[in-house]
């Protein structure tokens, strides 16, 4: 889970998100294509995309099963 001390506006790479979610990077990319994961909210170039930690935290919390909460 994302450290609660991490600012919601911190920028996370797909590699960092995959590690937090326990998924491979390709699984995250597939979820983006199918709409199961939000599109990147920050781009600093054509190949450099990032997600804010708050968006990732919300997604992780929404995908947890009741037994994980």
pLDDT at 2 over 60: no
Give bridge partners of residue 49 from the DSSP assignment.
43
Q: What is the DSSP string of 21-65?
A: HT--HHHHHHHHHHTSSPPPSEEEETTEEEEEHHHHHHHHHHH--
Phi-psi region of 25 (alpha: psi -120 to 50; beta: other; left: phi over 0): alpha
Residue 8: pLDDT band with limits 50, 70, 90 = confident
Q: What is the pLDDT of residues 12-35, one digit of tens each?
A: 999 999 999 999 999 999 999 999
| Sole residue written with tokens 């099963």 | 65
Give Dmax over CA atoms of the chain in angstroms: 40
CA distance 51 to 17: 9
Write down the pTM of the prediction.
0.79
pLDDT at 43 over 70: yes
pLDDT at 68 over 60: no
């Amino acid at each position: 889970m994302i450290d609660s001390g991490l600012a919601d506006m911190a920028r996370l790479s797909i590699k960092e998100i995959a590690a937090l979610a326990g998924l491979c990077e390709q699984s995250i990319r597939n979820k983006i294509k199918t709409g199961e994961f939000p599109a990147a909210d920050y781009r600093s170039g054509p190949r450099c995309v990032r997600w804010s930690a708050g968006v990732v935290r919300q997604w992780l919390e929404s995908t947890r099963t009741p037994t994980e909460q």
